[in-house]
Chain A
Amino acid sequence: MSVPPILAAREVRVSFGSTVALDGLSFEARRAEVVALIGPNGCGKSTFLRIAAGLLRPDDGEVIVDGATVAGPDPRIGLVFQEPRLLPWRSVADNVTWPLELAGWDRPRRDARLRELIALVGLEGAERVRPSQLSGGMRQRAALARTLALGPEVLLLDEPFSALDALTRERLNLELLRLHADTGTTIVVVTHSIPEAILLADRVVVLTPRPGRVAAEIPIDAPRPRSLERFDAAVVSDAAAEIRRHLELGEAVA
């Protein structure tokens, strides 16, 4: 392809003691693309996101975002954790605008940005509430808004809705699609769920069991905007079968 990728993992290798977590992971994400990383437990998916977010240094290889190697926490990259990780003593609004505060934005600018973010994640009316008074889904929306506050070019999601009930999870996945359509942010999402990966992603990257490496890249040829009803059953079942085949192949090798 002629357009350089917004995010590129190049031969990323990392080990913890004698355990090799990632062994030469390489893949690319184009601008505004949604890539799902799927793989068995312990294949280093979350580890990769922490490397891409600049929270962990790889032993070898690099992650390049928009032409520059990630060397540490970076405002161009936003990471949503599996848990909301909100500050319990701050209101939703003050949690969402915390990154702006840390970046030195003044109050009027923060307030204006807050209104956009609250609308984007659908938290209208909950601004003054504390996280403990929110449902799990609402908390994760707040966490998503916080990550989006500084307008990252790449959004990394680490099984963001896995702790939620199935219905909430489905709703939030659809909202994530809408958000992607609205903002055009590049998204890399780690998931355990094959249907979730197919619903969200333009491309599903299947990883091998530890040490993690790319087993296959499966494009999902479904038009956007996507919705549950309009999804072509054949596309879903074909893609799911192929993902399963590669996941099981991975297990056989291990």
Chain B
Amino acid sequence: MIAARPRPARWTADAVWPVAAALVAFAIVWQLVVLVGRLPAFILPGPAEVAARFVGAWTDGTMWPHTLTTVSEVVLGFAAGSVAGVVVGYGLARSGLLARLASPYLVAAQAVPILAIAPLLSLWFGTGLLAKVVVCGLIVFFPVAVATMVGVREVDPGLLEVARSLRAARRRILVDVELPAALPVLFGGLRVGVTLAVVGAIVGEWAGPDQGLGVLINLARGSLFDTPLLFATLLTIALLGIVCYGLVVLAERRLVGLR
């Protein structure tokens, strides 16, 4: 009845060395492209140059404030988008009427490029934190809502019947059966959502003039002409994405991995 779940990968020495080797190979190829193509640093800086700029930007205090701003947007936006996504997704799963009424709007909203409405949102919500959290939340909302809807719809009706035969209250059915049963699928949505949260924060910062890694990209490219800093910022964003994703996977293993 319950299929055996493959063990999650562990970071043992055996698992780490291929990853490290791939990383080194990637850097070598990158360096070769720069060398063979005789590319100047403002077109494509080499890995060593980017690494040096990355360390430099972190030690001279350039990166910190921008990263903190972006991280707070990601955290708040992801939280808001996920909570809204779970609530709406549950409603969609349990009410056919709501699903029929709301689905076209949800899909349409998702199809509209967030890049196009981000400037509008900063017009509505100001240039501060709120506008960026809204952009971030909007982009997180959809995958989480869809995953929640699918997860809740797929809950074993047999378990719901047991709950009913035990006269479980609506709230207990939600907490004891529906949410735990939907959790593996829900986490699929959260994994997608958290990486999109980083994208959402950067997109939100694009239009705003104050702080954040998206702002730093624009600065490095547009006014400082510092392509290595641009790449160092991209590297920071990528690392931020990996850390956020890792945290979600960690939470998933704690909550779902036990079954």
Contacts and interface: CB of A to CB of B under 8 A. Distances in A.
Interface of A: 53-55, 72-73, 75, 79, 81, 83-85, 87-89, 98-99, 102, 130-132
Contacts of B158: 81, 83, 85
Given A75-B167, A84-B1, A87-B177, 6 more contacts: A89-B258, A98-B166, A99-B166, A102-B172, A132-B2, A132-B259
B165 A53 contact: yes
A13 to B, nearest CB: 22
21 contacts: A55-B164, A73-B165, A79-B165, A81-B158, A83-B1, A83-B158, A85-B161, A85-B162, A87-B176, A89-B181, A89-B183, A89-B258, A89-B259, A98-B176, A102-B167, A102-B168, A102-B172, A102-B176, A130-B258, A131-B2, A132-B2
Contact of B165 (A54, A88, A130, A131): A54
A85 B162 CA distance: 7
Interface residues of B, number: 23
Label chain A's interface by main secondary structure: loop
B180 interface: yes
Residue of B165, B169, B180, B181 most packed against chain A (CB within 10 A): B165
B159 interface: yes
Contact of B259 (A73, A85, A130): A130
Contacts of A102: 166-169, 172, 176
A54 B164 CA distance: 9
A180 to B, nearest CB: 21
Contacts, number: 50
Label chain B's interface by main secondary structure: helix
A83 B158 CA distance: 9
Contacts of A55: 161, 164-165
Contacts of B156: 85
A171 to B, nearest CB: 20
Contacts of A79: 165
A72 to B, nearest CB: 8
Interface of B: 1-2, 4, 156, 158-159, 161-162, 164-169, 172, 176-177, 180-181, 183, 256, 258-259
A44 to B, nearest CB: 17
Nearest to B168: A102
A223 to B, nearest CB: 34
A88 B2 contact: yes
A129 B180 CA distance: 18
A231 B25 CA distance: 77
A73 B164 contact: yes
A148 B168 CA distance: 16
Nearest to A83: B158
A155 B158 CA distance: 18
Contacts of B165: 53-55, 73, 79
A219 to B, nearest CB: 30
Contacts of A72: 167
A88 B167 CA distance: 20
A73 B160 CA distance: 13
A166 to B, nearest CB: 19
Contacts of B169: 102
B12 to A, nearest CB: 25
A126 B164 CA distance: 26
A54 B256 CA distance: 33
Q: Which 6 A-B pairs have the closest CB atoms?
A: A132-B2, A85-B158, A73-B167, A99-B166, A89-B180, A73-B165
A54 B161 CA distance: 11
A53 B181 CA distance: 24
Contacts of A75: 167
Contacts of A87: 159, 176-177, 180
A83 B156 CA distance: 12
Contacts of B183: 89
Contacts of A98: 166, 176
A110 to B, nearest CB: 14
Contacts of B161: 55, 81, 85
